[in-house]
Amino acid sequence: MPEHVIVGGGIAGFSALDKLVEEGERDVLLVSREKYPLYNRVDLKKFPKTSMEVQDLLMKKPGDYPEEVQILLNTEVEGLDTEEKEIVTEGGEFSYENLVLAVGGRPREIPAENNSLEQIHYLWTLDQARRLKNVARGAEEPVVIGGGLLGIDLASIFSRTGSEPIYLIREDAWWEKGLCEPGSRLVEEAMEKDGVEVVHGEEVQRFLEEDGNLVGVETQKGNRYSCDVAGVAVGLELNTELAEEAGIETGRGLVADEKLETSTDNIYAAGDVAEYRDVILEERRIDGSWDGSMSQGKTVGANMAGEDKVYRNVSVYTVDHFGLNIMSVGDAERKDDREVFFHREGKEYVQVNVKDGQVVGGVIVGRADLLAELKSGIEEGKALEDVELSVELQKCV
């Protein structure tokens, strides 16, 4: 019986494994549905548009670990019995003393007619990225759907592989959930300069097909756009089912405390799927970044090995596309209880989000020099006037 079981072979799961091994633990089992060991999911956005090969993405191999550590790839955990303390796979059951669910998410399927045509692509797994790489260069009229941080990855892929995509965004501006309007415009101007046609207020209702092939999309306004390939990024569905069926508390993700322990003793959550208590913001949140997932995996690994660590981290999510370096820091979403301030000058943009007088997040475009100050301002819970950003901020409406 392995003492420590990790479900999920992404950065959160492998970071938990690394930490356990570093702490001298050997009685560890990691189970992952994917056939590859850890690979760089962030670099999947580069893979289809460059000469990168699968080998360049792989970050681990089973031989990297001590012999006693077991890694089961290509294996789905189908059930979890918290009374018996065991996980169930097709090949059998495994007992645990401590368990971490680092099961991440999957792209939300677009709720539109004919959404299973072969030419419709999502980008979350290496296999999906390989499929996209096979078609991106040959795409003549690609359409991208979804105005967020993963949608722009798809727009960049098509624009860099020789076509001029149409980018359909349901909202009035790109990444409206995060940016003030001047920030969205800056990014859209850069996309348009590179040949991307950005169209707002369009929600795809139907994929049009001829002889089983994609030929266009139709929106709720009745507008039609012809296309031969579609890239879709309309959100992430978190893999909460396993926990839910086992009676573990879930919200949008797996509810966890500040030590990342779920409502069931000795079961932890880490990575995208964790809806944890953030001790900096003093609220429950889902981080959704590579950096955050890695750091959560390490915290959980330490706690499984017997430490008593609180997770405390300000993550940074970086996007480099269309000649812009966009960094989202901490909790950058524009929520009702936040006051948001911004500064834009040419291709530079700085945004700061404040909650109850305390800086909690922000976005920086083209001013990487301000990252350290903003990040430490968030970490230390500073007031806006105490964060020295040397730009004149105005309130975002």
Ligand X SMILES: Cc1cc2nc3c(=O)[nH]c(=O)nc-3n(C[C@H](O)[C@H](O)[C@H](O)COP(=O)(O)OP(=O)(O)OC[C@H]3O[C@@H](n4cnc5c(N)ncnc54)[C@H](O)[C@@H]3O)c2cc1C
Site residues, ligand X (CB under 6 A): 7-13, 31-34, 41-42, 44-45, 76-77, 102-105, 123-124, 150, 153, 239, 242, 271-272, 288-291, 293, 317-319
For 279-343, give the DSSP string: TTTTEEE---SHHHHHHHHHHHHHHHTT--PPP----EEEEEETTEEEEEEES----TTEEEEEE
251: tokens are 């919200």
Beta bridge partners of 168: 145, 199
Cβ atoms of 98 and 5 closer than 8 Å: yes
Measuring CA to CA, which residue among 173, 138, 174 is closest to residue 48? Answer: 138
Beta carbon of residue 293, minimum distance to ligand X (angstroms, whole number) = 4
Beta carbon of residue 341, minimum distance to ligand X (angstroms, whole number) = 24
| Residue 59: C-alpha distances to residues 14, 39, 43, 213, 315 (Å) | 10, 5, 11, 36, 21
Residue 78 or 386 having the CB closest to ligand X: 78
Residue 288 or 366 having the CB closest to ligand X: 288
Beta carbon of residue 225, minimum distance to ligand X (angstroms, whole number) = 23
**Which stretch of DSSP H or E encloses residue 360?**
strand 358-365
Residue 160 or 206 having the CB closest to ligand X: 160
Residue 125 or 219 having the CB closest to ligand X: 125
Beta carbon of residue 237, minimum distance to ligand X (angstroms, whole number) = 11
Beta carbon of residue 390, minimum distance to ligand X (angstroms, whole number) = 26
**How far apart are alpha carbons 166 and 148 in whole angstroms?**
15
Beta carbon of residue 394, minimum distance to ligand X (angstroms, whole number) = 28
Residue 144 or 242 having the CB closest to ligand X: 242
Degrees, nearest 5: CA angle 68-35-255: 80
Beta carbon of residue 61, minimum distance to ligand X (angstroms, whole number) = 15
For 91-123, give the DSSP string: TEEEE-SEEEE---EEEPPP-SBTTT-TTEE--
Residue 121 or 382 having the CB closest to ligand X: 121
**How far apart are alpha carbons 110 and 78 in whole angstroms?**
25
| Residue 368: C-alpha distances to residues 267, 310, 318 (Å) | 38, 29, 10
- Residue 144 CA, chain-centre distance (Å), reads 18
Beta carbon of residue 280, minimum distance to ligand X (angstroms, whole number) = 17
Residue 2 or 8 having the CB closest to ligand X: 8
Beta bridge partners of 174: none
Beta carbon of residue 205, minimum distance to ligand X (angstroms, whole number) = 25
Residue 156 or 163 having the CB closest to ligand X: 156
Beta carbon of residue 395, minimum distance to ligand X (angstroms, whole number) = 28
**Which stretch of DSSP H or E encloses residue 127?**
helix 126-136
Residue 161 or 289 having the CB closest to ligand X: 289
3-class secondary structure, 242: helix
Amino acid sitting at position 124: W
